Structure formats: C-alpha cells, structure tokens
Amino acid sequence: MMNEQNILDMYEDAGALLNGHFILSSGRHSARYLQSALVLMSMDNAGQLAQALIEKINPNDFDMVVAPAIGGLVVGQEVARQLKKPFIFTERKEGVMQMRRGFSIPQGTKILVVEDVITTGGSVCECMAVIREHGGIPTSVVAVVDRAPNSKGRFDVPHATAISLNVETFAADACPLCAEGTPAVKLGSRGAA
C-alpha cells in the first residue's frame, strides 16, 4: 500500500515536481507544478497510483469510469482496467467540455470520475456536467493529487485523493511572481485540441 510520501517520491523521481512560475489549467498562477504525465510514462507508476485510488472507493458504487482529458486519461483508464469497468473520457473542443468519439452513457449509469491533479476542480465539474447531460449519475471523484485540500464544496459528490499538497496559488492579477517579473509557463492541458 502506497502512502503520501511514496507518491511524492514517485513525482520527485520522475522529475515531475517542478519549481518556477506556472499558469495552471484553472488560470491561477503557482510557484510549484505537478507534471503527472512524467510520472505516468511508467506503467508501473500508473498501476500503483490507480491501486492507491481504488483503495479509496467501493467498486460496487459505480458501473463506468470517466476522466476529463487530458490529465485524467492514463490514470482513469488504468483504474477502469484494474476494476474491469468500461472507460470513456470527456474532452474540450473549442474550449467546451464535451463527450465525443461516439461515446455514450446508458441512462442512469453510475459513474466514477478520475483525475490526475485537482486545484479548483473546474475540469472535474465540467466533466460531471457532461455526464449528467448524457444521462449518467456521477457517484464519486478520485484524484491522485489535490493541490488545494482545504477547498470545501468543490463537488456535490464524495471525493478522495491519494495525496494532498497545500500548494499556494494566486489569481493572475495578484500573483507575486508576475509582480517580480518572473516569466510564466503554461504546461497544463486546458486549451489542448
């Protein structure tokens, strides 16, 4: 069983805990960034992180796994694979989260939403809205990392994470790194085609 330190070590070993000035998918700024894609390049890591998430849920509470693209794809698919559940994903087209590629959700299907990293929870909320729009019922959310563990009321379903890191973020117009003139880098997936 993995603990938070094991997961943090996994991110550090993969060079996925970055320091600098970053624009997060939410539009907020931060001096730290977690690049899950580097961790998930290893199928061993993906399997271990999926197992850590599976330990947080009851597999009988849902019928299907859905992840918001791009961040949740690898870990979401691995959770579904280990549990032998169907997996689909939502994705943005022209800035709007949608279900595409011929995916469908049978009416009343109970859904687990899986994400890699949560800060504001915006992508997860957009994903859940799409699920509901298509007749599904989100029952819970799991994520590898919660960057803002003290945020309350982000989701209207139970949620759990494998690791919680209190990473300070700033509104773009109140960012001390911007005030210092430090150039910002955007590494997130929002806006990806």
Query: What does the pLDDT look like over 147-188, one tens digit per residue?
Result: 876 777 789 999 999 998 888 889 999 999 999 999 888 876
116 domain-assigned = yes
pLDDT-derived band at 27 (thresholds 50, 70, 90) equals confident
| Residue 192 resides in a domain | no
Residue range(s) defining the domain that contains residue 63: 4-186
Question: Residue 189 pLDDT > 80, yes or no?
Answer: no
Sign of CA dihedral 69, 70, 72, 74: positive
Task: State the pLDDT confidence band at 191, using cuts at 50, 70 and 90.
Answer: very low
Contacts of 125 (CB under 8 A, 6+ apart): 154, 155
Residues in a beta bridge with 18: 33
**Which tokens belong to 66?**
């859905």
Residue 119 forms part of a structural domain: yes
Q: pLDDT digits over 95-154, tens only? A: 899 999 999 999 999 999 999 998 888 899 999 999 999 999 999 999 999 887 677 778
Count the alpha carbons within 13 Å of 172 in the hemisphere toward its beta carbon. 9
Reported pTM: 0.87
* CA distance to 75, 87, 142, 157, 171, per residue, from 64 (Å): 14, 6, 13, 16, 35
Tell whether 86 is covered by a domain. Answer: yes
Helix (H) or strand (E) holding 44: helix 43-54
Q: How many domains does the chain have?
A: 1
